Each structure stands twice: as C-alpha cells, then as structure tokens.
Amino acid sequence: MAWLFVRLKFRITANTVGQGGVMSALGLLLLWAGAVVFGVVGGGLVVLATANLPGPQITAVAVSTAVHVGWVVVPVVAASLDATLDARSFELLPVRPRQLGLGLLVAGVVGPGGLLTVLTVGIGMGFGLWPGWIGWLTVPVLTLLHTFIVIVTGRLVTTFLSDALRTSKAQGLGQAVAVVVGIGAVLGTGAAWNLTGLVDNGLPEQMLWLAAVPSGSVGAAFASLEAGSFGPALGYVAWAVAGAVLLTWAYGRALVRSQTRAPTGRSSRVSGDAGLLGSRLQRVLSSGPVRAALAKEMRYLRRDPRLRAQFVGGLMTVAVIGIVAASFLDSPYAPFFAVVATWGVIATVAPNQFGVDAGSFWVYVVAPADPSAALLGKNATWVAVAAPVAVTAAVAGAVVAGDWTYVAAALLASGATLLVWMGVGNVTSVYGAFPLPERQLFGSNPGGRALLVSLAGLAVSGVLSGPVVVTVALAALFGGAVSATLAAAGGLVYSALLYRVTCRWAGTLVEERRFHLIDALDER
Amino acid sequence: MIAPAVSIVGLTKRFGPKVALDAISFDIPPGSFFGICGPNGAGKTTLLRVVTGLLRPDAGTVEVAGQDVWTNPAAAKEFFGVVPDDPSMFPRLTGRELIDFNGLLRRMDPSVVTERRDTLLRLLDLADDADTLVADYSLGMTKKVAIAAALLHNPRVLFLDEPFAGLDPVARQTLERILARHTASGGTVVFSDHAMDVVERLCDHLIIVDRGRVALSGQVRDVTDGRRLQDVFVDLVGAPVDSTGDMTWLGSSFD
C-alpha cells in the first residue's frame, strides 16, 4: 500500500510538470538541485565540524536537526508543496487509517527533503566519522528516530491545518505544535553544538527542558552517550520513543478526524461583526475599496490558518535569528533588531499577497473599483501589523542593551525595509501569484514560474534594501546615532519613492493581468 | 427601437486548438428573463465568463447597458452583478461581512449596504447564519450569499451561472420570486441552466449553445412552438447512441 502512495506521488509530479511546461520543470529542477546542494553542504559541514570538534555524534545530530527543521517549518509556511499531503483526497477510498497514515508518511519521505537527509547523513557516514561500534550502531538508529519524529510532526501539523479541521481551536493547536517543535528543534541544534565539550550526563541544567521535546531528547541522548553516561541516554531514548508514539497516535487521530469533516455550524460563528476592529473603527475604515480590503485582511489575519501560519513562520525566523545573534543584543545597536523583526513580518507574505484570496480573486475583478485597491488594502494591513512589531522589537532591544541611542534610527530603517519589501512584493504578487495552499505549485496554472518569480522577488528586495542597510550601518559605526538617524531618514525617503514606483507598476500590472491572475489563483 | 441590455457581437474564444466560442452574436432585450442552454462543455460558462469580464475573448465585443465591457470596464461593471457556477467567496468572512465587503468595494454608502444586506439575508433565509463563516456554509447557502452580494447594488443586468443548482425547493422558489421581481421592475436576468423545465417556465427568451455556436435563439414560445423544450433541445443537440448494453458486468455479481 505504501508503494502505491510513492507511485502516486511520482505520477502526480510527472503530470504536473508535463502540464506546466518548461517553467514548471525548471522550478522543480531548482528545488531538487537546491536539495542536492544543501545536502552536500550539510554533509560537508558534518565532515568539517567533526575535524575540529569533539563529539562527532552531536555534530551529526545538530546538522541533521537543522535539516529536519524544514520538514516541520516548510509544510506550515507552504502547506501542500506535496500533492499527496491532503488526507481528504483519499476520503472516498476504502483505505484504513493505518494504511493511509503509513502511505502518507512514506510518500512524505520521497522528495527533496528525503534526498537532502540521505545526502547529509550519507556523506557523513561515508566518511566514517563515527568511530567505534557504539557510534556505528547508535547514530543511524537515533538519526532515523529523529527523522521519524520530525516527519510525523510535520504531517500532524499539516493535517491539523487542512481545511478538514476548520475550527479555530484545532488550527491554533496545530500552529502551537509547529512553533514548539520548530523552535525546540532549532534550540536543540544550538544546544547540541554547545554540548560538544560537556561531561557528566550531557546536558547543563538550564538546557534540561530541551529534552522535553522529543527531538531535543534525541540530542540529549547523543550528548549522554558522548559523555559515556549510558543510563541517562537510555532514559532520553525512551522518552523520545514515547514522544514518537504519542505523535504517531495524534497523527492517526488527526487523519481519522480529517476524513470525517468537522460539523458545520456553531463552531465557526463569529460574535459581533467587528473581528479585530472595534465596530466604530470598523465603520470609519470600511468606507471605500482600499479600506474595505484592509478590514477584510485584518479579519483574515485573525481567522485564516494559512495567513497566520505565514505570520507565525516569519516571527519564528526572527526568533531564531535573535537566538543565534544573542550576543549582538548586548550592544547599543540592539534596537536595530527591529529591522530584522520587520523583515520577518513582511518577507513571508509580500511575494504572494493574493495567494490567500485564491479563487475569490474574481470578486475584485467584477467590482468596478480598481483591482489595485486590493493591493493597497493588503499593504495597509501589513503596515498596521509590522509597526507594533517593529516598535516592540526596538524598545525591547533598547531595554536589553540599556541604551536608547539608536531607537529612532532603527524605527526609520524598519519603515524603509518594510516599504522596499512591500513594493517589490506587490509586483511579484501579480507576476508570480499562486493559491495558498499551493496544491499545484508546479501545475499548469502558476507553474514553476511562481516559484522562480518569488525567488527573484526575494533577491531583488534584498538588493534594493542594500543601500539602506549599508548606509545606516556605516553611519552608525563611523558617525554615531545622529548620523545613523539621518541616514535612516534618507533611506526612508528612498524607500518611499521606490514604493511609489513599484506600486504604480503593480497597479497597472494587476489591471492588465487580471485574467492571468484569475487562472493562476484558481485552486481547481 | 429599445437599446439591448446586453449586446454581443462576434465573440470568439479559443483554448489552444479547441474553439470554445465561435463568433457568437446575439442581443438580450432589457427586462427579459434570458436563458442560456446547452450540453456539457458547449461553452455556456465560458460565454458568461467572457461577457462578465472574467475571461478575455480573442475577438468580439460585449456591451452591457451601452458600456463596452473591455474598453470601459469600470462603467460597465456598475451595471451588472455576477454569480459564477461555483462561487468562491472569501470563506473566512461571515455571510454578513461578505455582503458588506462587496458593497463597500463598489463604493456604496455604508448605511444603504446595511439596510439592503439585512433585507437580503432575511429574504434568503440566511439571517440566522449571518455570523457564520462562509467556509462552513453548505453549497446552497454559499450560492445564496453570492446571490445576495450580486443583488446588493441593484444591478440592471444579473448574470447567473446555474443559480438553482444546490438550492433546496424553498430557496429555489424564493430566488425565482426575487428574479421575477427584478425583471418586472425593468431589470434583466441572464442565466444558464441544464434543467429545461426551469428555463421553459421562467424564461421569455433563450439561446441554445452547442460546440461554441448559437444553435437556436429567440423567444421561448417561438422556439418550442408547442413542444416541450426538452424535446427541442435533444433533437437539436442529438441524443447519444445507447451503448449501455456493453455494460453487462454492471450488477451481474450481486447476490
């Protein structure tokens, strides 16, 4: 039965590439090539790291964890990259939940993620980096256990997030699982790196909580083995296995529930009609197309799991960067973390702003209003969301550093970053639109073009942000706070001009390409 | 001579080698109840999508209330409302919010939107579910809320693609009454449907589309000439050869 799912996945991939033409094939090739490159780089990292550091097992699991974070984060941020992901597609077939779960898990391993893992672990194993019979026995087994935990968690989260479970509680729970496991895995990676020199039972006291996350528990087992503490290692392994069993059980339950739809009705009732906005504010904001779009987007941000997942994914990235760059937060430049936070909010949503509208995009087209009003409404939403995030990050940075000198410069630079990414994102949203969840990312409608346009958009946004970031950084380093503030203000003017130009361009494009957009965003 | 509500001239649409619409031309008189019929894949949905500006034609022109849908789309769209066959309608908004959103997108006065929205919700029996997300509506309820959104701005012409599919008999009757009231007050209703009895009962004009061409058009009483529309349709389109005899396996293994 599992083999059938694998064949299905290959067949769907081949068909969608066949229908999508050259661009689709190119997009898919790019994804696979990326997996190969990252897999080789990951394997190389294992080799390099183990040459210089003690504890090769821990290094291996660190890289392995970093690779596997993708198994959790990618489905949350870009659900349905995998066409066989949606359990509801199989709801009319006489397949038992156990067979279905196994089939979907196996199909999940087939793809760029699986290739990446095999290459990473394989290259490390091929170089014989794990000395001794214990290493040869434990590393593959624990790595497999770790892989299984992360894959089953990814599947669990995406099953929860599927439309089959549409209650707010289920979606919230799914996202909470993603956040806990994702951050746990990232922290586990960092901890594993730091643990290479540890003795005794492997984990320092302040890191013990990481072992509560099943993937972190595998890392702790490695650390204990490295330290020669077999008793604690067995305990951690037992906990990891128990976690894996629990996750598998939850996945099975989620599968069964996803095939028997949530009851229609009261669970989705919204009390009042204000959503995120008070009714008075609602009345003010709702006059005119742009403001109507803004009010709609604010409601969607609260209710739509795909949009929230993008938002949560962006903030998770910011949190990870914050952890990695913790030492930077002690310096007076800490308020500049607001720029990273702003980027985290906007970078995941800007390139494909119509994606969440998907098949509903036609409503904008049949209305006599300019379709670009929808884009402006979306932009206004992200300004409203990013502003408090940036202010909070800047103030938090200043409090941590005990230095408020660069707060103004950081906020201005954040505004500039927002405008550049949003402006370029408006253009890519028209050129490379695809529906979320993107069932047919490589299909006949958006094709691989959507992926390539998104990647190009990210690159262009990065390049166009460059002058702002470099100027402000140089001004801060060599001129001080006043120079940095002036540079950031200049950057804001530059970004505003850039935004105006790109926005006009996007407005013309959305009018010209509205038929392409209807096709590209059609989920069928 | 009274100007037509909708004027279609030489409308052509191709999908690769397949010709979906082959130089179709016809007028729709104002105040008429106009039916578009045809077998599956004949081009009915394509025709409605092109006419309402959701699909660009390869050739031809469409005018609604004298405004060209392609050269003056904003003006033309003021005059019509649309309900597609499978209306995807921002599922994470409630029914109430969705109707409001459509009205405000059309720059309608918020107080007018509120008043009309409440009336439509009550008439279409959606008042109790007005605060439920559209994602949790049944197909019939989704269709009803889409119809409410399309009627909100009191369009001169209403285009509906299979509006009765998925509706229960009560909702069907309510919709028929609403549409009849719309045409009685000078509005025009254009809809496609497979159910010949519905078309025959409601419409005063119709066209039958087959393989992208107008196979027959005119007033219903002239077209039928005393026969059932169903029979006229089958004669025109051609019934398939009965090959069910090849399915000897069907039901043969039942005990």
Predicted ipTM of the assembly:
0.81
Q: What is d(CA B133, CA B154) in angstroms, rounded to the nearest whole number?
A: 25
**B100 or A120, higher pLDDT:** B100
B215 pLDDT more than 50: yes
Q: Decide if A334 contacts A361 (C-beta within 8 A).
A: no
| Closest Cβ–Cβ partner in B89, B131, B149 for A273 | B131
Q: Which phi and psi angles does A251 have, rounded to 5°? A: -65, -45
Report chain B residues whose CB lies below 8 A from the CB of A289.
Answer: 104-105, 107
On the question of pLDDT at A133 being above 80, the answer is no
Q: Is B165 on the interface with A (CB under 8 A)?
A: no
Chain A residues touching residue B74 (CB < 8 angstroms): 368-370
Q: In the predicted model, what is the mean pLDDT of chain A?
A: 71
Rounded-to-5 percentages of helix, strand, coil across chain A? 80, 0, 20
Question: How far is residue B157 CA from its own chain's centroid?
Answer: 11
pLDDT at A327: 63
Residues forming beta bridges with residue A23, ordered by sequence position: none
What percentage of chain B has pLDDT greater than the value 70?
96
CB–CB contact A368 B77 (8 Å): yes
Give the per-residue pLDDT at B123.
Answer: 87
Q: How far apart are CA A351 and CA A438, in angstroms?
A: 14
Name the pTM for this structure: 0.70
Cβ of residue B88 closer than 8 Å to a chain A Cβ: yes
pLDDT beyond 50 at A79: no
Written as one letter, the residue type at B244 is T
CB contact under 8 A, B92 and A292: no
**Model confidence pLDDT, tens digit, residues A397-445:** 898 888 899 999 999 999 999 999 999 999 999 988 887 754 444 444 4
Query: B133 vs A358: CB contact, 8 Å cut-off?
Result: no
- What is the number of alpha carbons within 13 Å of residue A320 lying toward its C-beta? 22
Residue B133 forms contact with A (CB below 8 Å):
yes
Among A37, A33, A45, which residue's Cα sits nearest to residue A127? A45
Q: CA of A350 to nearest chain B CA: how many angstroms apart?
A: 19
Q: B110 in contact with A at a CB cutoff of 8 Å?
A: yes
* Angle in degrees, CA B44, B45, B46, rounded to 5: 90
A300 → closest Cβ in B74, B80, B92: B92
Contacts of B133 in chain A (CB under 8 A): 166, 268-270, 303
Note whether A362 contacts B138, CB cutoff 8 Å.
no
Residue B136 near chain A (CB below 8 Å): yes
- Say if residues A361 and A518 touch (Cβ distance below 8 Å): yes
Would the CB atoms of A273 and B105 count as touching at under 8 Å?
no
pLDDT value at position A201?
A: 42
Q: Which residues in chain B are contacts of A265 at CB distance < 8 A?
A: 132, 136
Cα-Cα-Cα-Cα torsion A188, A189, A194, A196, nearest 10 degrees, comes to 100
> Six-digit token pair at B28?
């729709």
Which strand ranges, in their side-by-side order, compose the sheet holding B205-210? Answer: B80-83, B157-161, B188-192, B33-37, B205-210, B213-219
Instruction: Please answer yes or no on whether B107 and A369 come within 8 Å at the CB atom.
Output: yes
A101 band by pLDDT with thresholds 50, 70 and 90: confident
Which pair of structure tokens corresponds to residue A26? 């190119």
Please state the three-class secondary structure of A60-125 as a single string.
HHHHHHHHHHHHHHHHHHCCCCCCCCCHHHHCCCCCCHHHHHHHHHHHHHCCHHHHHHHHHHHHHH
Strands B157-161 and B6-15: unpaired
Residues facing residue B36 across a β-bridge:
B192, B207
pLDDT digits (tens, 9 = 90+) for A501-520: 998 899 888 888 888 888 87
Closest residue of chain B to A294, computed from CA coordinates: B101
Is the Cβ pair B132, A270 closer than 8 Å?
yes
Contact B84 A362 (CB under 8 A): yes
Cβ atoms of residues B82 and B159 within 8 Å:
yes
Other Cβ atoms less than 10 A from the Cβ of A29: the count is: 12
Q: Is the pLDDT of residue A390 over 90?
A: yes
Angle at which helix A372-401 crosses helix A407-431, to 10 degrees, equals 150
Higher pLDDT, A356 or A70: A356
Interface of A with B in 369-388 (CB under 8 A): 369-370, 373
Nearest residue of chain B to residue A285 (CA atoms): B104
> What is the average pLDDT across A254-258?
68
pLDDT in tens, B73-111: 888 888 999 998 878 888 888 899 999 988 888 888 888
Contact A268 B132 (CB under 8 A): yes
Residue (of A275, A522, A512, A309) closest to B101 by Cα position: A275
**pLDDT-derived band of residue A267, with 50, 70 and 90 as boundaries?**
very low
Return d(Cα A95, Cα A93) in angstroms, integer: 5
Find the range with the poorest average confidence among A16-20, A54-58, A84-88, B20-24. A54-58
Closest by Cβ to B55, choosing from A295, A367, A515: A515
Residue A299 clears pLDDT 50, i.e. is over it: yes
Report the C-alpha gap between B143 and A463 in whole angstroms: 46
By C-alpha distance, which of B43, B29, B85, B37 is closest to B199?
Answer: B37
Of A286, A365, A524, which has the smallest distance from its Cβ to B110's Cβ? A286
Confidence of residue A272 (pLDDT cuts 50, 70, 90): very low
Chain B residues touching A367 at Cβ < 8 A: 77, 102, 105-106
Cα–Cα distance measured from residue A182 to residue A187, given in angstroms and rounded to the nearest whole number: 9
Q: Does B13 touch chain A (CB under 8 A)?
A: no
What are the CA-CA distances from residue A112 to residues A35, A121, A462, A466, A488 (Å)? 5, 14, 25, 31, 41
Instruction: Give contacts of B54 with chain A, Cβ < 8 Å.
Output: 362, 365-366, 515, 518
Residue of A nearest to B73 (CA): A368
A490 pLDDT band, cuts 50/70/90, is very high
